[in-house]
Amino acid sequence: MANIIQPLQHFTKFESLELGNQLIEQALAYKANPALDQAKGAGKRIGCIFLNPSLRTRVSTQLAALNLGMEPIVLNMDKEGWALEMQDGAVMNRGTVEHIKDAAAVLGSYFDILAIRAFPSLTNKEEDMSDFTFSQFVKYSGVPVVSLESATRHPLQSLADQITIRENWSGKKKPKVVLTWGPHIKAIPHAVANSFAEWTLGMDHDLTITHPVGYELDEAFTKGATIEYNQSKALEDADFVYVKNWSSFNDYGKILSTDASWMLTENHFENAKNAKVMHCLPVRRNLELSDEILDGPRSLVQVQAKNRVFAAQAAISHLLGNK
């Protein structure tokens, strides 16, 4: 008998292999027929709240809701909302205009589901690790919440990535998956890398992570992965290579290296002839990843981006329940 999977209250992280498989299968069913559950969300609304920029997440989440017959409304809170106060008990005699307690409760009263993007500060490690801003929305809105990328995780991206791996792997053995750091000029969050590691390991794949010394990720997400500091060794016999920049976690938010030799070109694939390359986008071409790879036959980046629609559709459908 199949295990009964308890429905989630919120969609914020990897939960279990069983639920991962169920979401992947549901997403592939939606990819084959986007209108499969067109009546499921009828009469319901999802509020998509952005505290940071977005292209894919913004559009794919709206398309996913529309495919389920649900009405999406987007609020670019960083630009269009009042400046939010996050501290409990604050005397609001400075720049902030509205407390998160009030704003989140109002939004919760308007929507059946809220979806939130809240990036880390990359200056306050403790606050970022607790997903402080995102958690305030969960605490005060009182409705199911979907993460559109929090300080620590990007689960809709990771689900789309696992769908992409599933679609592109027919081998009998487990695929070798490699997460490689790529150079960048800015301090970049850990969320995509954390989440990719969490979901890849959770879905029972072999994961090797490679990065310069000092770029070790939070072990809470990488336990069970092989850490290999030599990139070319890590890439040997790889089936999927996920490229991502992140700033230092130990020396929190710092850029310790911009070493251009870490940017993948065809020369890096001498011992991984069939490897596919993945990136969540947006990508800084010829800094993080070369044109040669992005425009060549290894690249799965457009497939990943397309799968964001069906990942979001599966996640929202799950929160809407089985009725």
Ligand X SMILES: NCCC[C@H](NC(=O)CCC(=O)O)C(=O)O
Ligand Y SMILES: NC(=O)OP(=O)(O)O
Closest listed residue to residue 166, CA positions, set 319, 15, 322, 29: 29
Whether the upstream peptide bond of residue 7 has omega within 30° of 0, thus cis, is no
- Tell me if 186 contacts ligand X by CB under 6 A: yes
CB 48, CB 61: distance < 8 Å: yes
CB 23, CB 315: distance < 8 Å: yes
- Tell me if 74 contacts ligand Y by CB under 6 A: no
Residue 33's φ and ψ, nearest 5 degrees, are -150, 85
- Tell me if 280 contacts ligand Y by CB under 6 A: yes
Out of 20, 155, 182, 189, which residue is the one contacting ligand X (CB under 6 A)? 189
Selection from ligand Y, ligand X, none that 188 binds (CB < 5 to 8 A by kind) is: ligand X
3-class SS of residue 31: helix
Q: Closer to ligand X by CB, 246 or 310: give it.
A: 246
Residue 117 CB, shortest distance to ligand X, in Å, is 8
CB 241, CB 235: distance < 8 Å: yes
CB 215, CB 256: distance < 8 Å: yes
- Tell me if 120 contacts ligand X by CB under 6 A: no
Tell me which residues in 239-258 interact with ligand X (CB under 6 A). none
Tell me which residues in 160-219 interact with ligand Y (CB under 6 A). none
| Cα atoms in the 13 Å half-sphere on the side-chain side of 138 | 17
Query: Inter-axis angle of helices 155-167 and 191-202, to 10 degrees?
Result: 50
Residue 84's φ and ψ, nearest 5 degrees, are -90, 140
3-class SS of residue 181: strand
- Tell me if 191 contacts ligand X by CB under 6 A: yes
CB 66, CB 46: distance < 8 Å: no
- Tell me if 192 contacts ligand X by CB under 6 A: yes
Tell me whether residue 82 is annotated as binding.
Answer: yes
Q: Closer to ligand Y by CB, 56 or 298: give it.
A: 56
Tell me whether residue 48 is annotated as binding.
Answer: no
Residue 82 CB, shortest distance to ligand Y, in Å, is 23
3-class SS of residue 254: coil
Residue 103 CB, shortest distance to ligand X, in Å, is 23
- Tell me if 307 contacts ligand Y by CB under 6 A: no
Which single residue is written with the structure tokens 């150079």? 183
Point out which residues pair with 73 in neighbouring strands: 47
Residue 236 CB, shortest distance to ligand X, in Å, is 27
Q: Closer to ligand X by CB, 133 or 272: give it.
A: 133
- Tell me if 157 contacts ligand Y by CB under 6 A: yes
CB 104, CB 110: distance < 8 Å: no
Residue 121 CB, shortest distance to ligand X, in Å, is 13
Binding residues (CB under 6 A) for ligand X: these are 149, 154, 186, 188-189, 191-192, 280, 282, 284
Binding residues (CB under 6 A) for ligand Y: these are 54-58, 149, 157, 280-282
**Which residues sit in the known binding site for carbamoyl phosphate?**
54-57, 82, 117, 154-157, 280-281, 308
**Which residues sit in the known binding site for N(2)-succinyl-L-ornithine?**
149, 184, 244, 284
